[in-house]
Chain A
Amino acid sequence: MEATAPLPQWRANLATIAALMARAKNELLRVPGAAIPGVLAPTIFFLGINGVFGALTQLRGFDTGTYESFVVPVSMLQGAGFTGAAAGVNLARDMEQGWVDRLLVSPAPRWVLLAGTVLAASARALIPATFVLAIALLLGASWPGVAGLLIAYLMTAAMAATAACWGSALALRFKSQSAAPLMQAGMMAVIFTTTAYAPLALLQPWMRSVAEVNPVTQVMDAARQGFLGAVTWAETWPAILVMLALIAALGAWALREMRRTAA
């Protein structure tokens, strides 16, 4: 066999990321019914929260017309959290079954292997997000405008990346699917201890204190702004900063854990 010239490293890295993302889609497309919980659960939560807590808009201080508009970004971000955590669970399963050894024994850089998992989760999260958005608009949520929509999707993709880094770090640390509840609970805690159910002023005092320091509150508010009114840069840039910081920190942790698998 005659060998052709090897690819430049940057092209090899991109090809590896693309190949790992292509593999990740098999979970959705090749396992019968696997897509349903991931896609449906955020929508069920949306319909449920809306149907159950919709009367909260009657409280003084609730400055939005419809609860649907208020809650739809919660469900989009929740779907992103689920999807990212699921990526972590899949990685843990892959470790248990020895698949990850195949990746680790290849010359692909570690960050490339992680990027494949994380970017796949980001892309996948847009599916349940779109589903929820469609249902919400049908039920009367306000159209967020193009800018609002793009920001909501951006926050969704970034949240999924954050969750995937978190889930991957735990998977690489514990090398077992028994860490799955921690992956899911962590994301649930961080998304719902924000202005998820009500504006800041209407939260219970302890929840308000937590939401004020929880950086994901910025992300929630940024994703929500188009649905409630105008989109502003002042409302958006803190969220972008938060997402970048979380992805960097959790990604660094995941990378460290990946390197430590040999220790």
Chain B
Amino acid sequence: MPAIAVERLERAFGDVLAVRGVDLEVDEGEIYGFLGPNGAGKTTTVRMLTTLLLPTAGRATVAGHDVVAEARAVRASIGVALQEAALDPLMTGRELIRLQATLQGLPTAEGRRRADDLLERVDLIAAADRRVGGYSGGMKRRLDLAAALVHEPRVLFLDEPTTGLDPVSRKTIWEEVRALNDEGTTVFLTTQYLEEADQLADNVAIIDQGRIVAEGTPDALKAEIGNPHVQLQLADGSVDAAERVLAEIGKLLPPSDGRTVLVEVENGAADIPRVVRALDDAGVGVEALELVRPTLDDVFVATTGHHLEKKQVPTTSSAPANA
């Protein structure tokens, strides 16, 4: 039985269809990534699966229970860390996890024991008796995660768990998610970060404007787009010579400017020595070399026509101050 099964799930807000017939299946023990830009329908989908929102059409089961007809059973089986890190600033970390344990119906002594274990696990034991209002963003997310785990849920929903966090905190959350998954927890993770989906997810669904536009393992999705290519910056502008040599190894890709050449390589990194040797034999100097693999953003562009992540464009003028 899948951990999560969704069939033609829809959610309308007035005339606006935020989720338009989503179908997906998540196996037990999987990390499933739900990737899409802001406003794509990720959070709406999660809120339906966690019983916070009723679907307007379709059906879904989580841990074997229907999200509408058996909502309470669903709630007893899931852990949820929502986008807003729903924490009370006046409570201490320890109090919050104990309250969560009580909400989940755990006996008091058991709840306390689990609270202490989880605080230790997410490295918050030293701050456990400080008020949450004084926690950093990373600490709040770790606490939210710990609270979601207090009853050892079968399925864990993480809605953009690392948005707004610094790289170190992000990495800590990733490690924790992997560890949980190793212990058998199914994880449904929504994110707008390509790297997060790429690094963590066994399977990824890309959602845009309420519809799933692509689904599969990260590698399979990227492979559908094309082969990796090698980007070379040449030392002395001898582009013609380089292109002649490289055309025999793989397909040349535009653009080529005065110093850069791009060549597709079927075997990825394994073809690099061949490229280097060929250029060396031809006397072409190489200043820099990079293997560029297709990204999930390339998958997104291929399926939707626009980028998931905005590229950073350097600008000479600063934005005007707010009036």
Contacts and interface: CB of A to CB of B under 8 A. Distances in A.
Q: Indicate, yes or no, whether A interacts with B.
A: yes
Interface of A: 1, 3-7, 9, 12, 15-16, 19-20, 23, 26-27, 30-31, 94, 97-109, 261-263
Interface in B105-122: 105-110, 114, 117
B116 to A, nearest CB: 11
Nearest to A98: B84
Given A6-B106, A7-B106, A107 B76 contact: yes
Residue from B76, B86, B104, B131 having most chain A Cβ neighbours under 10 A: B86
Given A1-B114, A99-B86, A105-B80, A15 B54 contact: no
Contact of A15 (B73, B102, B131): B102
B125 interface: no
Contacts of B95: 23
Contact of A107 (B84, B104, B107, B131): B104
Nearest to A2: B110
Interface size class of B (residues with CB under 8 A): 35 or more
Contacts of A31: 90
Given A16-B102, A97-B86, 20 more contacts: A1-B117, A4-B109, A16-B103, A23-B88, A98-B83, A98-B84, A98-B86, A99-B86, A100-B86, A101-B52, A101-B84, A101-B86, A102-B86, A105-B51, A105-B52, A105-B78, A105-B80, A106-B100, A107-B75, A109-B72
A186 to B, nearest CB: 27
Residue from A20, A94, A98, A107 having most chain B Cβ neighbours under 10 A: A107
A105 to B, nearest CB: 5
B90 A107 contact: no
A105 B52 CA distance: 7
B90 A30 contact: yes
Contacts of A261: 52
Interface string B191-209: 0000000000000000000
Residue from B83, B95, B105, B106 having most chain A Cβ neighbours under 10 A: B105
Contact of A19 (B80, B86, B103, B117): B103
B71 to A, nearest CB: 8
